Chains A and B, each alone.
Chain A
Amino acid sequence: MGPSLIIGAAALGVLTGGVYALMSSGLALIFGVMRIINVGHGAMVVLGAYLSFVLLRDWGVDPFLGLVVTMPIMFGLGVVLELVFVRPLRADREALSVLVTYALALGIEGVLGYLFSADYRQLRVSYDTASFAIGDFRITWVYVYGFLLAVAMLLALFGLLYRTRFGAAVRATMLNRTGAQLVGIDVERVSAIAFGIGMATAAAGGTLFGITTAFNPDSHYDLISRLLTIIVLGGLGSLRGAIVASLGMLVVEDVASVLISPTWADFTFFVILVVALVVRPQGLYGVRVRGAA
C-alpha cells in the first residue's frame, strides 16, 4: 500500500466530489433563496437518474446527451412542486418545509418503486470501463467526463448568478428577502425558478450518480444525509461553500477509507463536521446573522 494508492484515492475523491458539488449546489441554492431545507433533494437526484435510465433503456439515448431532455423536465417539475407545495406555507416556513419536502421524497420513492420495482439499476454506457493510467494507477474516463460536466454546469450557474439580471435578483433575495421585495423584485417568482434550477442540477447530478453507482428507489436516504452534511459544512446557502465542502468531504473520506479503515471513515467525517460547527457554527462560508447560524 503505497503513496500511489493515496493519490489514487484522492484523485477519486476530487472527481466524485465534483459530482457531489453539483448535487449539493442545487440544495444550497434552494436554501439560500427560500430558506427551506429540501430533504427531498436526494429523491430528486434519484428521480433524475431514473429519467436518464428510461431514456437509455427505451430510446437508446446516451445519458450525457439525454440531459438536454431531463434537465428541462426536472426544471418544470421543480417549478410546479414549488407552486403547489411550498408556496402555500406561510408561518413556520423552515420547519414545515422539512416535513413537506420529506413527504415529497416519500411520494417520489413510492412512485418510483411502483414503476420500476426495487431492482437495482445502473446507467451502462459502452465507454464506462475505459480508463487511462497515471503512474501505477488507472482512472476511468467516465469519472472525468462527469467531473468536467459538473464543472461546466457550476460555471454556468455562477454565470447565471453573477452576470445576469435574474442572477442579481436571486442574490438580492438570498441576502435579504424583505429588502429585495422592497426594491421591486418578485421574490415568489425568483423562488419558483430557483427551485426549478435546483431540480435541474439534481437531474444532472442524478445522471452522473447513476452512471457510477447502482441505484434503486431507496438510494435517496444515504444521499440526502451526505448532501445535508456537505451544505452545512460549507455554510448554508453558500454555493462556494457547497463546492469546497464536497471536494473536501469526498477526498477526506476516500483517503481515510484506504488509509485507516472504511468503518471509521464516515465517523471521522462527522467528527470533523461537529468540531468545525462548534468552532464556526455558520460553516466555512456561511454568514452569521445576529447570533443565529
Chain B
Amino acid sequence: MQRRLLGSAVAIVATVLVACGGGGGAQGGQRPIVIGVSVSLSGDFSGDGKALEQGYQLWADDVNAAGGLLGRKVEFKFVDDDSSTQQVVTNYQNLITADHVDLTFGPFSSLLTIPASTVAARYGYAFPEPAGGGPQVFSRGLKNLFFVQPAPVEDNLVSYVRWLLSLPAGERPTTAAYATQDDPFTQPQLDKARQLLEAAGVRTVYSKVYPAETSDYTPLALAVAQSHADVVLLGTQLPDAVAFVQTFIQQHYNPRSLIETTGPDQGAQFSDKIGLANTEGIMVPSGWWSSARTYQNARFVKEFIAKYGGTPGSISADAAEAYSVGQVVAEAVNRIHSLDNAKLIQALHSGTFNTVQGKMSFDSAGRPQGQGTFLVQWQHGQTVPVYPAAIAIAKPEYPKPAWS
C-alpha cells in the first residue's frame, strides 16, 4: 500500500515537472530582450542584492527611455537565490534552459559567481558580473566571464599602500594592525597590502583573521586598539566595519589612519550607526563614487535618487557596479549589432568600454584592466575621492581627526 502511494506520488510529481520544464518558447516579432539575473534578496547578501537589483533596473529604464537596445525593450527577470549556492545554480539553469533568457548578468559575491558562471559557460552564455572578483573567480579557465570593476579584488588596497608610502618621512606610519574576515573577498586584499607594507618597513603589530560567522567583534577590536598601531587596515563587511569603529570610539583609540574594505562605502547604513561626525577621515577603497566625472555618472546619480530616494552619499557602490554591467553590455551589443552570446563574448574581450566606474577592458580570463581603485575618504559628511591626485577632488586628511 505504501508503495502504491509512492508510485502515484512519483508519477504526479514527474508529470508536473515535465509540464513546467517544457514551456517557454519564443514568440516572434518585437518581443523584449530578457536578461536573467539571480540576486540575493534574502540571506546573508540581501543588502547588496537589493542594491544590485536597483542598479540593473535603473539601467534598463534608461536604455528603454532612449529607445531600447537594438530597437527592442530590455526586461529583467530577477530571481532570488537566498544567498545560497544550490539556489543560484538552479536559478541560472532555469533562466537559461527553461525561460530561454537572451542574456545573463551576474549575482552578488565571488561565492555565488563561481558556481553560476560555470552554469552559464556550459550553455555558451556571456557572464558579465558586478561583484565576483576574488582570485578563484579567474582561475577556473572560463572564457565567458567578465568582472566589471576597475581592478581585480586583490589589488583593491594597493592605492592605499602607495599613498601611505608617499607621505613625507616624518609623517609616515611605522606600525600597522591588520584584521580581516576569513572571506575570499577581503582576505586577499589584506594579505597583499600587508606584504607590500612589510616590505617597505612598516612593522606589523597585530594581524588576525577572524571567522566570517563571528557575532561579537568587540574582543578583536579591543586587541587592535590595545596594539596602538599607527594605522589600521580592516577587511570587513558592513556589520564588522561598524562594530570595530564603535569599539575604537569607546576605547578612545585614535589611529592616524583607518581604512576598511567595505562598510564606509555603504553610505547612510554606515554613518547613521556611528554618527556622521565620527566618519571624518575614515577611508575605503572604491571603484566608484557619486561625484566622479565618469561616463553618464551624473545622470546615474540624479536618476537613482529620483527613483529610489536618498542622497548621493547613500547610493551603494553595488548599484553603480550593476549599472556598469549594463553599460558595458549595451556598448558591446551596439558595436556588433547582435545579441548572439558567442559574438558578445568575443566583443567583450576586445576594446575598451565606458562606464560610471571609468574606462575598462578585460583580459582573456575576464580580469578588468581599468585604472585601478582609488581612495575615498569621508570628509564633512560626504565621501570624496582623495587619491591619486589625478582624479582627487580633495586632499587626503591625515592624520585622521580624533573621535567626537
Question: Which residues of A does B touch, CB under 8 Å?
Answer: 1, 4-5, 8-9, 12, 16, 113, 117-120, 122, 124, 128-129, 131, 138, 140, 213-214, 216, 218, 222-223, 226, 253-255, 257-258, 261-263, 266
Given A8-B222, A258-B219, A263-B210, CB of A120 within 8 Å of CB of B272: no
Contact B211 A213 (CB under 8 A): no
Query: Contact partner of B46 among A113, A214, A258, CB < 8 A?
Result: A113
Q: How far is the CB of B245 from chain A (nearest CB, A)?
A: 10
Any A CB within 8 A of the CB of B93: no
As a 0/1 sequence over residues 242 to 271 of chain B, the CB contacts with chain A under 8 angstroms (1 = contact) are 110010011110000000000000000100
- Complex Cα distance, B43 from A117, in Å, reads 11
Contact B222 A120, beta carbon cutoff 8 Å:
no
Measured between beta carbons, the chain B residues less than 8 angstroms from A120 are: 47, 238-239, 242, 269, 273
The interface bits of chain B over 206-244 (1 if a CB of A lies within 8 angstroms of the residue's CB, else 0) are 001111011110111011001100000000001100110
Are A262 and B210 interface neighbours, CB within 8 A? yes
Minimal Cβ-Cβ distance residue in A for B206: A1
A to B CB contacts below 8 Å, 10 in the list: A1-B227, A113-B42, A131-B250, A213-B216, A216-B47, A254-B216, A255-B219, A257-B220, A262-B219, A263-B210
Residue B44 lies at the interface, judged by CB distance under 8 Å to chain A: yes
Near A by CB (< 8 A), chain B positions 168-224 give: 182, 208-211, 213-216, 218-220, 222-223
> Known: A117-B50, A118-B47, A218-B44. Is A262-B214 also a contact (CB below 8 A)?
yes
Tell me the nearest residue of chain B to A209, going by C-beta: B215
Cα of A128 to Cα of B239 in the assembled complex, Å: 17
What's the Cα separation between A3 and B8 when bound, in Å?
69
Q: Is the CB of A16 within 8 A of B273?
A: no
Closest to B238 in A: A120
Q: A118-B47, A262-B208 are in contact. Are A12 and B238 (CB under 8 A)?
A: no
A214 (CB) vs chain B CBs: closest residue: B239
Residue pair A9, B222 in contact (C-beta under 8 Å): yes
Partner of A257, one of B213, B219, B252, B269: B219
Q: Hey, which chain B residues are within 8 Å of A129, CB to CB? A: 246, 249-250, 403
**B residues adjacent to A (C-beta < 8 A):** 41-44, 46-47, 49-50, 182, 208-211, 213-216, 218-220, 222-223, 226-227, 238-239, 242-243, 246, 249-252, 269, 272-273, 275, 403
Total cross-chain contacts (CB, 8 A): 98
Q: Is the CB of B209 within 8 A of A263?
A: yes
Chain A residue nearest to B253 in the complex (CB): A138
Contacts of B250 in A (CB 8 A): 129, 131, 138, 140
- Does A214 contact B238, Cβ atoms closer than 8 Å? yes
List chain A residues, Cβ under 8 A from B182: 263
Hey, which chain A residues are within 8 Å of B49, CB to CB?
Answer: 118
Task: Specify which chain B residues have a CB less than 8 angstroms from the CB of A113 in the assembled complex.
Answer: 42, 46
| Cβ contact within 8 Å between A138 and B251 | yes
Q: How far is the CA of A226 from the CA of B216 in the complex (A)?
A: 12
Task: Out of A4, A12, A119, A226, name the residue touching B215 (CB < 8 Å).
Answer: A226
CB-CB under 8 A from A131, the residues of chain B are 250-252
Separation of A226 and B215 alpha carbons in the complex (Å): 10
Given contacts A131-B251, A254-B218, A263-B182, 11 further A-B contacts (CB under 8 A): A12-B222, A117-B47, A117-B50, A118-B49, A120-B238, A214-B238, A223-B215, A254-B219, A262-B211, A262-B220, A263-B211
- The answer to whether A118 touches B50, judged by C-beta atoms less than 8 angstroms apart, is yes
| Residues of A with C-beta under 8 A to B246 | 128-129
Task: Choose from B44, B213, B214, B222 the contact partner of A5 (Cβ within 8 Å).
Answer: B222
CB distance B47 to A119 under 8 Å?
A: yes
A122 to B275, CA, bound (A): 12
Complex Cα spacing A254 to B222, Å: 10
- A1-B215 contact, Cβ under 8 Å, with A118-B50, A214-B242: no
Question: Quick one: which of B208, B219, B275 contacts A12, CB cutoff 8 A?
Answer: B219
Query: Considering residues B210, B216, B269, which has the most beta carbons from chain A within 10 angstroms of its beta carbon?
Result: B216
Per the bound structure, the CA–CA distance linking A117 and B186 in Å amounts to 25
Say whether A9 contacts B273, CB under 8 Å.
no
**Which B residue sits closest to A265, measured CB to CB?**
B219
- Provide the bound-state CA to CA distance between A16 and B215, in Å: 12
User: Which A residues are CB-close (under 8 A) to B218?
Assistant: 12, 16, 254
Question: Given A117-B50, A138-B250, A214 and B273 touching (CB < 8 A)?
Answer: yes
Residues of B within 8 A of A223 (CB): 215
Query: Which residues of chain B have C-beta atoms less than 8 A from A119's C-beta?
Result: 47, 269
Q: Which chain B positions have C-beta within 8 A of A1? A: 223, 226-227
